Amino acid sequence: MSYLELAGLQKRYGNSVAVDDVSLSVEQGESVALLGPSGCGKTTTLRMLAGLIEPNRGTMTLDGSEITKLPAHKRNMGYVFQSYALFPHLSVGRNIAFGLEERGVSRAEIARRIEEGLALVRLGGLGERRPKELSGGQQQRVALARALVIQPSVLLLDESLSNLDAKLRDAMRHEIRSIQRSLGITTLFVTHDQVEALTMCDRIAVMHRGRIAQIGSAEDIYNRPATRFVAEFVGRANVLPLARDAQGRASVWGQTVPVDAADNADLFVRPQRMRIMPLSEPAGADTARLTGRVLRSVFVGDHVEVLVEGAGGQLTVEMPSGTAAPVEGTEVAVVWPRTENRVFQREAP
Ligand SMILES: Nc1ncnc2c1ncn2[C@@H]1O[C@H](COP(=O)(O)OP(=O)(O)OP(=O)(O)O)[C@@H](O)[C@H]1O
Ligand SMILES: [Mg+2]
């Protein structure tokens, strides 16, 4: 049994199901991201885990003991809310002390841990300020310190970086990740930001409509998406409609492609796995090939996006910048290894 186990969790509100059936095993010291679109049940899952709301079905186990019915303050979980939820009338230090006072920790020990907590999030010396005298990123770190000083068995972070600017967010990602690692804290990290999930976590659980659609490493999720939803939600993909040619073979834009013929399905290929070649480039035994005309090439910093139009639609190729972008209007071959092909059924309307 893993350190933290969620089994068949469900939460209903009236007739609507916020979390349908979530099962998840997390090892001690592991960091797992819950990644998914708005409304898929991420916060609800976290709140059930924290003991803030009760599930209609399912169980939760921590370190071998069932905690499903345990009140929130007995679960020893640090929760960082999306809106930092600091107490405006209390100083930074008292905010950090909150969970410790609740747990009856001695005054001397509290004072020591406040200092420790402030140092951990690099806010030493700011303990006397009020939250409104801090920047957003500093408030964020106070919320994090408050969750960490109780020495939680599990740290729950809900979109905790979403209100920060890009640069600060990036710095905080690394900061939280290194704190999480050095203290070995088991962490569940809710986000709808893919980069955050990829950089902050050992594994990613992609949620969709109250369920976990796939759980695995970033590479698993990106390279071997289990469902059409995961393939579309994580990273970018060209979605090419499959048809059958006169011989019944699979085709895209009227050109044969090396996949098993399937009806009512699309071929998914990542834009970075495709290359632009001269029209004379043949399709090899291990490659797929489509021809089209370059509509435009756009320089986007670390890569060049090339939009190619064929007889039945468009696709995007991402080329590393530095390579010469093809001239607009040129007829080209788009080539990729056939191992990059993923086929998913079209969803019923
Ligand atoms: N107290 C509530 N009463 C009724 N419905 C609720 C309640 N809380 C959440 N829901 C519904 O449950 C679903 C899941 O909500 P949840 O807050 O878990 O989503 P989320 O994945 O955290 O989304 P977001 O990324 O927008 O924060 C949503 O459809 C939401 O409207
Ligand atoms: Mg949420």
Q: Among all ligands shown, which has an atom nearest to the Cα of 208?
A: 1
163, pLDDT greater than 70? no
**Domain range summary for the chain, segments of one domain joined by +:** 4-232, 240-345
Does residue 239 surpass a pLDDT of 90? yes
Pocket of ligand 1 (CB under 6 A): 13, 16, 18, 36, 38-44, 192
Say how many Å lie between the CA of residue 113 and the centre of ligand 2: 30
Q: What is the pLDDT of residue 234?
A: 92
Q: Which two tokens stand for residue 337?
A: 């290894």
Concatenating the DSSP letter of every residue in 173-217 gives HHHHHHHHHHHT-EEEEEES-HHHHHHH-SEEEEEETTEEEEEE-
- Per-residue pLDDT tens for 276-299? 999 988 878 899 999 999 999 998
Fill in the amino acid letter for 73.
H
| pLDDT reading at 165 higher than 80 | no
Report pLDDT for 221.
Answer: 93
Which ligand is the nearest neighbour of the Cα of 10? 1
User: Per residue in 298-333, pLDDT tens?
Assistant: 988 889 999 999 988 999 999 988 778 889 999 999
Distance 300 CA to ligand 1 centre (A): 35
Counting from 1 in the atom list of ligand 1, the atom nearest the Cα of 210 is 14
**In angstroms, what CA-CA distances link 134 with 28, 82, 143, 219, 316?**
34, 17, 12, 38, 44
If one compares 223 and 348, the residue with the highest pLDDT of the two is 223
Give the residue, 182 or 162, on which the prediction is more confident: 182
What is the CATH number assigned to the segment(s) 4-232?
3.40.50.300
Residue nearest to atom 1 of ligand 1 (CA): 13
Buried (b) or exposed (e) across 311-333, using 16+ Cβ within 10 A?
eeeebbbbbeeeeebbeeeeebb
**Mean pLDDT of all residues in the chain?**
91
Report CA(63)–ligand 2 centroid distance (Å). Answer: 26
Of the chain, the end-to-end C-alpha distance in Å amounts to 40
Nearest listed ligand to the Cα of residue 192 = 1
Question: What local confidence, expressed as pLDDT, does residue 341 receive?
Answer: 96
Ligand 1 atom nearest to CA at 37? 25
Residue 242 has pLDDT above 90, yes or no: yes
What is the 41 CA–ligand 1 centroid distance (Å)?
A: 6
Closest ligand to C-alpha of residue 18 is 1
Helix (H, G, I), strand (E, B) or coil at 310: strand
Mutate to test the pocket of ligand 1, among 34, 43, 189 (most ligand atoms within 8 A of CB): 43
Mean pLDDT of 46-65: 96
- For residue 110, is pLDDT > 80? yes
Query: pLDDT above 70 covers what percent of the chain?
Result: 99
186-191 and 154-158: which strand pairing? parallel
Q: What is the pLDDT of residue 27?
A: 96
Q: Match 């020893």 to its residue by tokens.
A: 76
**To test the ligand 1 pocket, which listed residue (16, 196, 212) has its Cβ within 8 A of the most ligand atoms?**
16
Residue 44: band (very low, low, confident or very high) from pLDDT cuts 50, 70, 90: very high
User: Which atom number of ligand 1 is nearest to the Cα of residue 41?
Assistant: 18
Task: Measure 18 CA to ligand 1 centroid, in angstroms.
Answer: 6
Classified as helix, coil or strand, 136 is: helix
Tell me: pLDDT of 70 over 70.
Answer: yes
pTM: 0.86
- Whole-angstrom distance, CA of residue 106 vs CA of residue 117: 16
Whole-number pLDDT of residue 349: 67
Q: Do domains 4-232 and 240-345 have the same CATH topology?
A: no
Average pLDDT of the segment spanning 154-161: 89
Of the candidates 129, 334, 130, 138, which has an alpha carbon nearest to the alpha carbon of residue 240? Answer: 334
- Which residues are CB-neighbours of 192 under 8 A, at least 6 positions away? 35, 36, 37, 38, 42, 159
Residue of 9, 20, 22, 42 with the most ligand 1 atoms within 8 Å of its CB, for mutation: 42
User: Binning pLDDT at 50, 70 and 90, where does residue 8 land?
Assistant: very high
| pLDDT of amino acid 171 | 80
Q: Which has more pLDDT, 269 or 167? A: 269
Looking at residue 82, its pLDDT comes to 74
The domain made up of 240-345 has a fold known as OB fold (Dihydrolipoamide Acetyltransferase, E2P) (2.40.50)
pLDDT band at 56 (very low <50, low <70, confident <90, very high): very high
Residue-level pLDDT at 177? 87
Question: Which residues contact residue 19 at a Cβ distance below 8 angstroms, ignoring those fewer than 6 apart?
Answer: 9, 10, 11, 41, 44, 45, 48, 55, 210
- Ligand number, closest to the Cα atom of 39: 1
pLDDT of residue 342: 96
pLDDT value at 104 more than 80: yes
> Residue 137: is its pLDDT beyond 90?
no
Please tell me the number of Cα atoms within 13 Å of 225 on its side-chain side: 23
Q: Could you tell me the distance, in angstroms and rounded to a whole number, from the CA of residue 225 to the centre of ligand 2?
A: 23
